[in-house]
Amino acid sequence: MNARTVLKPLAMPLALLAIVAFFAVKEPAFIGARNLTQLLIEFSIVATLALGMFMIILTGNIDLSVGSGVGLVGGVAAVLAFNHDWAAAPAMLAGLTVAVLLWFLIGVLIVKQKMPSFIITLGGLLIFKGLFWLVINNSTVPVSRGDTDTLFSLLTTYYLPASVGLAIAGALAIALGWLQWRGRSARLAHQLAVPPPSLALAKWLATTAGLVALVLVCNKFRGVPLTLLILGATAFTVFFLTKHTPFGRYLYAIGGNEEAAHLSGIAVDRIIIWAYVLMGVAVALTGFMMTAYSGASTTTVGDLMELDAIAACVIGGTALKGGRGTVWGVLFGALIMTALLNGMTLLAVSPELKFIARGGVLALAVWMDVRFSRA
């Protein structure tokens, strides 16, 4: 086993540790309970979108329209709720319906009309941005009424009680342990290689300790934010779909070799369309959370979020050509991106340098993907 093999899985944790250490030295408030809780809200928003992008990239496709979609869907829900006096729940359901229909249409255009995903979603980026500005009439639509929080605004202002947060952490640890055991048993049944039991146990214990520590830090401020619970449910769903269902295996197979997937009997067109439909659901969730976090639907909501989502996937080891990647990697990549942006905001870094940093990270992520693909 050479040094490169050993260091490769440690690259992301070391990068995250370096980022945290740098900002903690520059500004000690970075690791304070208040800022870490706010960072988790930002992380939840970015990671939810990145998980949707992950399923698209697994098939070898891409989606550049999601940032504009985040603004559009959040804007539709905000306008219905606060300009037309809809209840928040039906307004968000309408936004979700719009997102699912739009991304179903994108999927159909890609597979039925053989349109490159890069081109059709680039067009979607422009179309959705224009529709978004029309929907909000180039104005600011608030998501709260005076000092009263609504169901909409509670998405990013509600925090779980301390005991509930700890209970959820325990339940999640048990669920992850069951999934790990189930996956291990399945591999053994097919006589495939599995890691030693001690290593599997160590990973589970480390994950459990991390979850408990996370909840304890949040409880020092106001508790676990609701957005993190939404991300947890999203991540669990995507993990289960990609690792424990035929749909997930088909996503990897299509990205690995689409022609071979066709020949093996996989309904490639249907799987890709469903991947885009699920992307629409992720866009809707992100749109609601991002609009709530911004406090209003404005023309800048969702700007460049498609790049953050793609960068999170690629930093996390998802191959742009498809067929390779993990949910854990995407979450790590999203956390690195969020920590970087949060730290720069805390240090009052100018917007110009933020753009340069985001572009640099994206370019570095693509370079890493190319290098690892050749390895």
* pLDDT at residue 206, rounded to an integer: 86
362 in Cβ contact with 311 (< 8 Å):
yes
pLDDT > 90 fraction of the chain, expressed in percent and rounded:
57
- For the chain, state the CA radius of gyration: 21
Q: How buried is residue 315: exposed, middle or buried, by Cβ count under 10 Å (0-12/13-18/19+)?
A: buried
Domain boundaries, given as residue ranges, for the chain: 28-158+226-374, 159-224
Average pLDDT over the chain, rounded to whole? 89
DSSP annotation of 10 reads: G
Residue 147 has pLDDT above 60, yes or no: no
pTM over 0.85: yes
pLDDT digits (tens, 9 = 90+) for 37-75: 999 999 999 999 999 999 999 999 999 999 999 999 999
pLDDT digits (tens, 9 = 90+) for 248-275: 999 999 999 988 998 888 999 999 999 9
28-158+226-374 topology per CATH: ABC transporter involved in vitamin B12 uptake, BtuC (1.10.3470)
Dihedral of alpha carbons 21, 27, 29, 30, sign? negative
* pLDDT at residue 4, rounded to an integer: 55
Average pLDDT over residues 337-364: 88
Q: How far is CA 66 from the centre of its chain?
A: 11
